[in-house]
């Protein structure tokens, strides 16, 4: 069954092929590309958007969306900066981080699931409100003084070659893959995304489950903040402003249906890798940012168009 149309029908292998092609293209653009050190180091291009994208998957599977992830990350980085200034030890700081991220996600979840508000509009609002909170706490300053250990997750490489952040990302991917595809919780996500009424009739606590997905995405965004300060060595309230575009691109490109009930964690991981490869290759060739975004925008639109066309031809 290894003919072309079968390949096209399965999204993940297609992504894999695209990654290889992107790698080849990147290698042709710049002689600095094919270098193990460089390749592993370039994971910093995609770890943070990747974490956010993985966290977004359960939310999208239930048919909702969360636009506020970048803002939650910013609140996270500012929080860490302030805690570092107060001399709070890393362990406590991480606990606070997770609690705040979870709380912000909880608010999203409650507004969407409990009060039934449309998630697009609500998270559009919280995107602004949370970003505002980051600015209110952090003002327009940049923070670079962090305590011992704060920067470890984002800046360390094991044996000077394997970035810890990349390992962290892989762990999160495995965890979420397990959660979404091999647990009852995961199956319920697909059920809710398929039909809320049907899910309700089978006794699922839809409200609770949706809230849980939002808390998860909030926590993950907060943890991404810890990676951020290690990678950049600084925190500002405008951190990750606009990252949500890349994140949604990664999710949709990964084969997740924006209306819910379809998609895989593997697909999103592969699309994150694809976008990271392209970013890395184009960056090394000093291709200007806006040109890069044309590539990404086109990729996003074409991927959906092509999958639509395939679906029409095979039904």
Partner 1 sequence: METAARMRAVPTEAGNRFAERALRLRVAGVLAFLLLLAIGFTSASPRFLTVGNARIIAFNAAILVIAAAAEALVVLTRNLDVSVGSVMGLAGYLAADLIARAPGLGFAVILVPLAIGALLGLLNGVLVAYGRVPSLVATLGTLSIYRGVTFIYARGQEVTSTKLPRWMLRGADAMVAGIPSLVIVAAVVVVILALLLDVRPRFRQLYAVGSNPQAAHFYGLRTKRVVLLAYVLAGFLAGLAGFLYAARVGTVTVILARGWEMSALAAVVIGGVSIQGGSGNLVGVALGAVVLATIDNGLVLLRVPEFWRMFIQGTAIVLAVSVDALIDGRIRRMLELRRAGRRL
Partner 2 sequence: MSKKRVFASLMLATCLVPAGAASAAGKHYRLFMTPKWTGFPYFERAAAGAKAAAEELGDQFVYAGADHADVQLQVQTLQNFLAQKPNGIMLAAIDLNAVAPVLKQARSKGIVVTTFDADAATPARDFFANQMSYEQAAKTMLDCALLDAPEGGEVAFVAAAPTAPNHMAHIKYMKQFIETDPKYKVFKVVDTQFAQDDDAKSYDVAVNLMQAHPNLKVIISSSAVSAPAGARAIVATGKAGKVFSTGFALPSAIKGYLKDGSEKAFALWDPYELGYLAAWVTHMALDGKLSKTPGTKFTAGKIGQYTVGKDGEIVYGKALIFTPDNVDKYDF
List contacts with partner 2 (CB under 8 A): 21, 25, 28-30, 32, 38, 41-42, 44-45, 139-142, 144, 155, 232-234, 236, 238-240, 282-291, 295
Give the residues across from 142 on adjacent strands. Answer: 236
Of 105 and 163, the one with the shorter C-beta distance to partner 1 is 105
Binders of partner 1 among residues 92 to 121 (CB under 8 A) are: 111, 115-118, 120-121
Using CB under 8 A as the binding rule, whether residue 286 contacts partner 1 is answered as no
Tell me the chain's radius of gyration from C-alpha atoms.
20
CB of 166 to partner 1, least distance (A): 26
CB of 30 to partner 1, least distance (A): 20
What's the rounded Cα separation, in Å, for the pair 142 and 68?
21
Residue 5 burial by Cβ neighbours in a 10 Å radius (0-12, 13-18, 19+)? exposed
> Of partner 2, partner 1, none, which one does residue 208 interact with (CB within 5 to 8 Å by kind)?
none
Retrieve residue 98's tokens: 């997770």
Of 112 and 172, the one with the shorter C-beta distance to partner 1 is 112
Using CB under 8 A as the binding rule, whether residue 298 contacts partner 1 is answered as yes
Per-residue burial over 106-136, b = 16 or more CB atoms within 10 Å of its CB, e = otherwise:
bbbbbbbbeeeeebeebbeebbeebbebbbe
CA dist 310 → 9, 107, 218, 257 (Å): 7, 39, 35, 15
What's the rounded Cα separation, in Å, for the pair 120 and 101?
19
**CB 258, CB 60: distance < 8 Å:** yes
Per-residue contact string for residues 123-152; x = within reach of partner 1 by CB under 8 A: -xxxxxxxxxx-xx--xx------------
CB of 225 to partner 1, least distance (A): 18
> Residues interacting with partner 1, by CB under 8 A?
65, 111, 115-118, 120-122, 124-133, 135-136, 139-140, 237, 245, 248-249, 252, 258-259, 288, 290-294, 296-298, 300-301, 304-305, 308
């Amino acid at each position: 069954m290894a003919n072309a149309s079968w390949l096209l029908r399965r999204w993940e292998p297609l992504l894999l092929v695209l990654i290889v092609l992107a790698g080849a293209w990147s290698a042709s653009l710049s002689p600095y590309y094919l270098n193990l050190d460089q390749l592993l180091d370039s994971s910093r291009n995609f770890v943070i958007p990747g974490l956010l994208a993985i966290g977004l998957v359960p939310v999208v599977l239930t048919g909702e969306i969360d636009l506020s992830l970048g803002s939650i990350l910013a609140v996270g980085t500012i929080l860490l900066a302030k805690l570092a200034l107060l001399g709070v030890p890393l362990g406590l700081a991480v606990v606070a981080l997770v609690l705040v991220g979870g709380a912000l996600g909880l608010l999203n979840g409650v507004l969407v699931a409990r009060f039934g508000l449309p998630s697009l509009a609500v998270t559009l609002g919280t995107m602004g409100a949370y970003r505002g909170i980051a600015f209110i706490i952090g003002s327009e300053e940049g923070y670079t003084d962090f305590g011992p250990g704060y920067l470890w997750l984002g800046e360390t490489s094991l044996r000077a070659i394997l970035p810890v952040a990349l390992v962290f990302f892989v762990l999160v991917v495995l965890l979420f893959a397990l959660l979404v595809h091999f647990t009852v919780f995961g199956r319920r996500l697909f059920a809710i995304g398929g039909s809320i009424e049907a899910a309700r009739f089978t006794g699922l606590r839809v409200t609770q489950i949706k809230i849980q997905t939002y808390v998860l995405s909030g926590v993950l965004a907060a943890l991404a903040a810890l990676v951020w300060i290690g990678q950049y060595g600084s925190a500002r309230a405008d951190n990750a402003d606009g990252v949500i575009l890349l994140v949604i691109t990664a999710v949709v490109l990964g084969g997740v249906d924006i209306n819910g009930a379809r998609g895989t964690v593997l697909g999103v991981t592969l699309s994150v890798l694809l976008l990271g490869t392209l970013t890395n290759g184009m960056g090394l060739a000093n291709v200007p940012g806006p040109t890069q975004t044309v590539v990404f925008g086109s990729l996003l639109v074409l991927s959906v168009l092509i999958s639509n066309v395939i679906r029409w031809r095979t039904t």
